[in-house]
Amino acid sequence: MRRIRDIRVDPLDIPLREPFAIAKGAQSTAKNVLVTAVLSDGTRGFGECAPFPAFNGETQAGTLGRLRRARAKLLGRDADRLRPLAEAIDGSGCARAGLEMALLDAWCRARRMPLRLFFGGAQQRVETDVTIPVVGPAQAAVAAARIRRMGVRTLKIKVGTDVSEDAGRVSAAMRAAPRMRLILDGNCGFTPKKALRLLSGLRRRGIRVDLFEQPVAEDDLDGLRSVGRHGRVKVAADESAPSLSALRRLIRARAAQVVNLKLMKCGVFESLEMARAARASGLGLMIGGMLESRLAMTCSAHLAAGVGGFDFIDLDTPLFLARDPMRGLRLRPGGVYDLSRVSSGIGVKPA
C-alpha cells in the first residue's frame, strides 16, 4: 500500500505576454500554486491551482492557506483512496483541483499509466481553439491572422464589454481569419437583449457564431435559454455551471446546449462526474480553464481525451505565458495535444 508521505505547496507566479482581459477584469500575472504529492515509495506527482479573482473571486493567498491547513489531514493516508482525499479541502474548487491533480499524477506515475487511461482512454489527441482577449480591432486582426497561420481551426473571442466594440473586434478578427469556427465568450457581461443585438449585428455582416459561451449573468438561466432560442445559436454554460448540483439545475431548466467544464471550478473528480451527467442528459461537452500553465492544461486534455466526445476544447492558455515553468509534453502545431506521447501520469512537471 502506498501512503502519502508529503504534500508541498508553493506559489507559482507566471508573467503573461500581455494582460489577459475578459468582461469581468484583467490579469497580467498568473498567480498560481504548485502542488507536489510525494508517496511512500518516493513517487512524485504534480498539480496546479489557478485561482482567477475576476472569474470567481479565488486568490493565490486563499488557495495556499487552504492547502496548508489540509496537509496535516492528508499525511499518512492511503494514496489509493483518491476520491475521499480532497474532502480535506473546504470551499475552494481550484485548491481541490490542484490536490487531486497531484495525487492522480503520482498514482498514475507509480503504475506507469498515462492519465487519459484513468479517465477511459477514448482518444489519444484533442485539438484546442485559441483565444483573442478584449483588445482593439487592429490587435484582434493581427492575433487572428497569427492564430490561423498556426494551423488552429477554431477562434474564440472574448466579448461582453460593449456591443459596438465587441462587434468591431469580432468583425476584424474574422476578416483576417475567414472560415474559422467561431466561439464568442461573454463571461456574464451582457443582458439577454444586448447579447441578441450582438448576434443580430454579426449575422448582418455574414458572420456565423458556432457557440456563444456564457453571454449573461450566472444566475440568469432564463436569459441563457432566451439567447439560445431567439439568437438561433448554441449556448454554453460556464459560470452558470460551477458544480454538479448547478449543472443539474441547468439541465432541469433546459437553459443551454453545451456545458463548459473547468477543473478549477470544482476539482478533477467532480468535473468527471459533470461530464457523465451532461452526456447522459444530451448536453454537448466543452472543456476550458483559467490561466494555467501546461501542467493543468494537459491534465484537462487527458480528461477530455479519456472521456471522449468533447465538441469544444479551450486549452490554450500556455500560449499567453511570457515564460514556461514546465517541461514535458508540448502543444503541437494546429493546437494539438498528442497524449499518445505520454507514458505515465500527466506527462508534464516543473522545469
DSSP states of 123-175: -SEEE--EEE-S--HHHHHHHHHHHHHTT--EEEEE--S-HHHHHHHHHHHHH
Higher pLDDT, 20 or 32: 32
| Averaged confidence pLDDT in the chain | 95
For residues 93 and 134, membership in a common domain is answered with no
Q: Could you tell me the residue range of the domain that residue 82 belongs to?
A: 4-112
The domain boundary, picked from 112, 139, 159, lies at: 112
The angle formed by the CA atoms of residues 315, 210 and 319, to the nearest 5 degrees, is 20
For residues 88 and 163, membership in a common domain is answered with no
For residues 108 and 126, membership in a common domain is answered with no
Judge contact between 309 and 317, C-beta under 8 A.
no
For residues 124 and 95, membership in a common domain is answered with no
For residues 175 and 269, membership in a common domain is answered with yes
Confidence band for 176, pLDDT divided at 50, 70 and 90: very high
Q: How many domains does the chain contain in total? A: 2
For residues 30 and 148, membership in a common domain is answered with no
Residue 76: count other Cβ atoms within 10 Å of its Cβ: 11
Instruction: Give the pLDDT mean for 233-252.
Output: 97
For residues 261 and 326, membership in a common domain is answered with yes
CATH code for the domain in which residue 85 is found: 3.30.390.10
Q: In angstroms, rounded to a whole number, what is the distance separating the alpha carbons of residues 171 and 85? A: 48
For residues 200 and 134, membership in a common domain is answered with yes
Higher pLDDT, 182 or 18: 182
For residues 160 and 291, membership in a common domain is answered with yes
Residue 107 is inside which H or E element, if any? helix 93-110
For residues 70 and 141, membership in a common domain is answered with no
Residue 47 has pLDDT above 80, yes or no: yes
Q: What is residue 20's predicted lDDT score, i.e. its pLDDT?
A: 79
Which of 9-13, 82-86, 155-159, 271-275 shows the lowest mean pLDDT across its residues? Answer: 82-86
Residue 52 has pLDDT above 90, yes or no: no
Coil vs helix vs strand at 46 = strand
The domain boundary, picked from 92, 112, 132, lies at: 112
Q: What is residue 23's predicted lDDT score, i.e. its pLDDT?
A: 66
